[in-house]
Amino acid sequence: MIEKDKQTQRKLLDLIEEFYTQLENEEVPALQLPTRTKANIAYDDEAEVWVYGDRESTRSAKTTRGAYQLLKTSYVVDFLNTQLKQAKSSTLRELYYISENWDLAKFGEQQESDRLIEDLEIVSALQREDFHIRPEEDGASILGPIRVREQTRRGTKTIHCQDDVGEAGYQIPCNVDSLEFLEHNAKFVIAIETGGMRDRLVENEFDERFNAIVVHLKGQPARSTRRLMKRMSEELKLPVAVFTDGDPWSYRIFASVAYGSIKSAHLSEYMATPGAMFVGIRPSDIVNYELPTDKLTDQDIRALHSLLSDPRFETDFWQSEISLQLELNKKAEQQSLAKYGLDFVTDTYLPERLAEMGMI
């Protein structure tokens, strides 16, 4: 077992030993965790990201529900401990199915087991990758003028993410910290929400014309994708732009890239890119470009009102844009720019917007 895995194992076992200590002291076993709500995230001025505040909740064996949660925690730690010893790994989905054999500690749904892994990240100050837990393959990719060295099971390989890959690009690995950036000729990174728009940029050779690294987010971006963008921002000093649809769910995608997500605020310093800028689609674009739109659903409206009170969206820009969208009662997709032709987004919209933002 490598030293890093030993340290991970020790931290996990320390948690279980704490339960034993509490029992020996005739105390009811309990676990303190930050309250994971919008009301309990605070801005860290030094790191420039949103992190959990001081509010905590107690998971205690005083209640039946709390006792079951601690039991499930113990089972998961035992599983992770064994996995680390054997130098094996598993996916979040596999962990959920493995619990089928745990009788009283069985999870009711995968969301429950996913959340418990997040709890363990918080109390151990580690990441799930340290536990050898990985997500299902997400297929997110990058395409652009950068050469990387990847550590594989058969050694290392060097890949140029333009010259050595097809149009699908270079698939982002689960553990991007194993990547080494060798050289690049990029001026900026642009993250794209949808596959259709990503393909439009690739077909129109946007990456070559503007020396851009095009990142496909595939909707809500995976942690590995966010970590990679943070690394390129910090280590390569590349500005990052995020291009999404014009709806509340897409604004949250941007927020997860720039500020970190609420449910994983404990990892914001590791994954968030505070300097990331929102390119569009903006509600004001609906007016200025007279874009084809859809009417907001009741769910969209509730989500927009929620964003107005979300501290990640408290700037004048976002307050104004969200209020405008509620007034318009409309939303628009990235592909709506095709109203002006298939090349409009790469020849006009993005170059003009990126120039306004000082990125090109």
**What confidence tens digit (pLDDT) does each residue in 60-116 have?**
888 998 889 999 999 999 999 998 988 878 888 888 888 888 888 889 888 899 889
Spell out the domains of the chain, with CATH numbers in brackets.
Answer: 3-134 (1.10.10.10), 141-356 (3.40.1360.10)
**How many Cβ atoms from other residues are within 10 Å of residue 358's Cβ?**
8
* Residue corresponding to tokens 């050469």: 147
Q: What are phi and psi of 34, to 5 degrees?
A: -60, 145
Q: How many angstroms separate the CA atoms of 57 and 331, rounded?
A: 37
pLDDT average, residue stretch 153-158: 82
Q: Which two tokens stand for residue 113?
A: 């087991």
Paired sense of beta strands 146-152 and 155-160, if any:
antiparallel
DSSP code of residue 100: G
| pLDDT given at position 100 | 82
Residues forming the active site: 97
The answer to whether the pTM exceeds 0.75 is no
Mean pLDDT across 278-293: 94
Q: How far apart are CA 146 and CA 88, in angstroms?
A: 31
Q: Report the alpha-carbon distance of residue 281 to residue 332 in Å, rounded.
A: 7
Please give the residue that has the higher pLDDT: either 169 or 41: 169
C-alpha pair distances (Å), 186 with each of 66, 198, 244: 51, 17, 21
At 173-216, the pLDDT tens digits run 878 888 999 999 999 999 999 888 898 899 899 999 999 999 99
Q: How many CA atoms does the CB half-sphere of 241 hold within 13 Å?
A: 21
Q: In this predicted model, which residue has the larger pLDDT, 267 or 291? A: 291
Say what percent of the chain tops pLDDT 90: 48
> In 57-69, which positions are buried (b, 16+ CB within 10 angstroms) versus exposed (e)?
eebbbeeeebbeb
CA 292, 296, 301, 302 torsion-angle sign: negative
Query: What does DSSP say about strands 90-91 and 133-134: parallel, antiparallel, or unpaired?
Result: parallel
Between strands 49-52 and 133-134, the pairing is unpaired
Q: Which pair of tokens denotes residue 333? A: 């997709």
Q: For residue 94, give every residue at least 6 positions away whose Cβ sits within 8 Å of its Cβ, in sequence order, or none.
A: none
**What's the angle, vertex CA 297, arms to CA 292 and CA 300, rounded to 5?**
95
- The DSSP code for 163 is T
